[in-house]
Amino acid sequence: MPNVPLKRLAVWGLIVLMAALVVVQLVPYGRDHTNQPVVAEPAWDSTQTRALSVRACFDCHSNETVWPWYSNVAPLSWLVQSHIEEGRSEINFSEWNRTQKKADESAESVRDREMPPLYYLVTHPQARLNQVEKDTLVRGLVATFGDDDGGEGREEGHDDDD
């Protein structure tokens, strides 16, 4: 019976895969879900802009991340942690006491559908904005932060050293 070795190989492959998934749970990276305190927020142009930003942006761009269950399971936890660290380094709405170099690009990122990214929207349906909400968010982000074309915003963040 030529299928027996193939079945046996498949079973052993599955056992090895399951063992590897158990072993990677021992790697601690990606499971530190402590959010730093909110130090300062931008002077939002409206409560609506803030509310839309909370829905679509805050999980990755603030210290108010709501950590999903799969952020506790390696290797997904590594990916989630990496994305949040990257997002916070680009712009962090909870640390407005420091310079936010990408603030003036936030409206363009939403307008060009770069943000929120598709992989995030798949697992976070509440972050999906309809076109009216997207347009409202873009206008609010421009009013709050300006845009990278030189438009003026209300606040761009500052350093403590100023």
Q: What is the rounded average pLDDT of the residues 9-32?
A: 81
pLDDT above 60 (res 71):
yes
pLDDT above 70 (res 150):
no
74-113: per-residue pLDDT in tens?
888 889 999 999 999 999 999 999 999 899 999 999 999 9
65-82: burial string, b at 16+ Cβ within 10 Å, e else: bebeeebebbeebbebbe
Per-residue confidence (pLDDT) for residue 74, from 0 to 100: 87
Widest CA span of the chain, in angstroms? Answer: 78
pLDDT above 70 (res 57):
yes
Q: What is the rounded average pLDDT of the residues 1-21?
A: 82
Mean pLDDT of the chain: 87
110-148: per-residue pLDDT in tens?
999 999 999 999 999 999 999 999 999 999 999 999 987
- Kindly report the pTM of this predicted structure: 0.78
Per-residue confidence (pLDDT) for residue 153, from 0 to 100: 55
